[in-house]
Structure 1
């Protein structure tokens, strides 16, 4: 079951109010591959609380002068490290419990 933080239920207007970012800026971060809202059947973007936190982090980095391509690269590196860490933990659990389950790395 997904955490409430990860459920995509918040509209772009509310995200704008919570973050202070313009809707145009939020869509730009989506275009740059930094944020990934879900879309309803009518095309409405839906965001999660985790997305809002990420948008604030992105905005803070932009204020420090970091370019969006650098932010994207950093985010990809963080995901790779997390996936590698998760794989190591899974491997240790498999070895300890002598299972043959393969790590579920995304």
Structure 2
């Protein structure tokens, strides 16, 4: 079961309120492939709490003068690390027949 943090349930308006970022900034970060909201059948963007956390990190880095391509590179590296960690944890759980 997916964690509540990763469920895409929030509209861009709610994300705007939570982060303080403008709608334009949020869309720009999507355009730059820093976040990947899901789309409903009607094309409405849906974000997760994890996306909100990522947007706040992006905003902090941008204030420090970090370019978007550098942020994307950092996000990709951390995502690969998280995936590797989950795979190892899964292998250990399977080997020792443990549950999370």
- Asked whether the two chains share a fold, i.e. TM above 0.5, the reply is yes
**CA 1:7–1:91 in structure 2 vs 1: closer, same or farther (change >3 Å)?**
closer
Q: Please list every run of 5 or more consecutive structure 1 residues that lacks an aligned counterpart in the other structure.
A: 98-106
Distance in 2 (CA, whole Å) between partners of 1:67 and 1:39 is 26
Number of aligned residues = 96
Query: Distance between the aligned counterparts of 1:6 and 1:91, measured in 2?
Result: 22
Asked if 1:66 is matched to 2:92, the reply is no
SS at structure 1 position matched to 2:65: coil
Counterpart in the other structure of 2:57? 57
CA separation of 1:92 and 1:11: change in aligned 2, threshold 3 A: closer
Query: Residues of 2 paired with 1:4 and 1:87: CA distance?
Result: 20
Give the aligned CA root-mean-square deviation in angstroms: 1.7
Q: What is the correspondence of 1:25-104 to structure 2 with a 5 Å cutoff?
A: 25-90=25-90
Gaps of 5+ in 2: none
Q: After TM superposition, where is structure 1 displaced by more than 6 Å over at least 4 residues in a row?
A: none
CA deviations on 1:65-92 (whole Å, 9 max, x unpaired) are: 1000000001111122223334444555
Which structure has more relative contact order (CA 8 Å, sep 6+)? It is: 2
Q: Does 1:3 align with 2:3?
A: yes
Q: TM-score, normalised by structure 1?
A: 0.80
